[in-house]
């Protein structure tokens, strides 16, 4: 009985230490260099103009966003801009022409200038002012941030979900576990910057954490081998690791998390 109690206490202590290490990594995140933002493509904008505006290599921008033909950008689609801190105005040919060809406002005619305004009698005007309430400006509401669409993140591996998000016995899982073949490619679920690649956090084995735009993070654990390095910029679908297995499991699997800031969210709601 004493041995079982001691074993349970030791297990809880180890889980606490691993979670403490993970929280320390998350606390360190704000001090990192910015990971990037999303830019929405507008009419007339080209990959060259966008890259020049954000001072990034056109080839790097195409690689991160997996663009094979830079001449076929789709208006309304979003490009991930690594390292950018805020959206910038990218001028396009259509925007320049629209500004140059916009008609000037016509001046009022002399007849309109000289036409006398019909005035109300003083008594009627005073009565109208008393009866009409003063207009009040409607209260301004702060615009709520648009929620991410389902499918914003892609599956990091193709396999069956063998571990769900949330309570599991006496533990509370912060992510899901996906079955995979040992050595199978693990891909980035969205474009971003690798802010951690190592095995210093207990319980996760080889671990990779990627920071994305809008304060989102993805976590990839139990890796057989990490391929992406800290400070690497990766595109959605880029290979970042090889699938492995946890120490206490007989089957290979990937531990996968999505976090909004420091809060874990259920990845199922964000995957296609």
For position 26, what pLDDT does the model report? 56
Q: Is the pLDDT of residue 109 over 60?
A: no
| Rounded CA separation 189/186 (Å) | 9
**259-271 residue pLDDT tens:** 999 899 999 999 9
The owner of tokens 């030791």 is 10
What DSSP state is assigned to residue 135?
A: P
Cα–Cα nearest to 159, from 146, 141, 176:
176
For position 158, what pLDDT does the model report? 95
For position 138, what pLDDT does the model report? 56
* H/E segment holding residue 153: none
Q: Best-predicted range by mean pLDDT among 21-35, 89-103, 212-226?
A: 212-226
**239-265 residue pLDDT tens:** 999 999 998 877 999 999 999 998 999
Higher-confidence residue: 101 or 176?
Answer: 176
Please state the CATH superfamily assignment of the domain spanning residues 149-269 in this structure. Answer: Glucose Permease (Domain IIA) (2.70.70.10)
Domain boundaries, given as residue ranges, for the chain: 149-269
For position 18, what pLDDT does the model report? 53
| Rounded CA separation 213/83 (Å) | 10
Name the pLDDT band for 175 (thresholds 50, 70, 90): very high
Three-class SS state of 8: helix
Cα–Cα nearest to 88, from 50, 60, 34:
50
For position 25, what pLDDT does the model report? 56
Q: What share of the chain is helix, strand, coil (3-state, %, to 5)?
A: 25, 25, 45
Higher-confidence residue: 59 or 211?
Answer: 211
| Rounded CA separation 268/247 (Å) | 25
């Amino acid at each position: 009985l004493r041995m079982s109690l001691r074993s349970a206490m030791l297990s809880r202590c180890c889980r606490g230490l691993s979670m403490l290490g993970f929280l320390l990594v998350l606390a360190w995140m704000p001090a990192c260099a910015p990971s990037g933002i999303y830019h929405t493509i507008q009419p007339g904008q080209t990959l060259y103009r966008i890259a020049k505006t954000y001072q990034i290599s056109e080839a790097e921008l195409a690689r991160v966003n997996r663009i094979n033909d830079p001449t076929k950008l789709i208006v309304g689609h979003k490009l991930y801009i690594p390292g950018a801190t805020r959206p910038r105005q990218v001028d396009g040919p259509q925007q320049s022409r629209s500004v140059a060809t916009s008609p000037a406002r016509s001046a009022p005619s002399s007849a309109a200038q000289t036409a006398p305004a019909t005035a109300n009698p003083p008594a009627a005007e005073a009565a109208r002012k008393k009866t009409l309430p003063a207009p009040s400006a409607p209260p301004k509401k702060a615009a709520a941030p648009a929620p991410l669409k389902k499918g914003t993140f892609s599956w990091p591996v193709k396999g069956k979900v063998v571990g769900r998000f949330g309570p599991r016995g006496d533990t509370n899982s912060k992510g899901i576990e996906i079955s995979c073949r040992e050595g199978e490619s693990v891909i980035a679920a969205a474009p971003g910057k690798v802010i951690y690649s190592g095995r210093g956090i207990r319980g996760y084995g080889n671990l990779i954490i990627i920071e994305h735009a809008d304060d989102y993070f993805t976590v990839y654990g139990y890796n057989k081998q990490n391929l992406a390095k800290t400070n690497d910029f990766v595109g959605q679908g880029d290979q970042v690791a090889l699938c492995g297995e946890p120490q206490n499991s007989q089957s290979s699997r990937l531990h996968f998390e999505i976090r909004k800031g420091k809060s874990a969210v259920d990845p199922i709601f964000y995957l296609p």
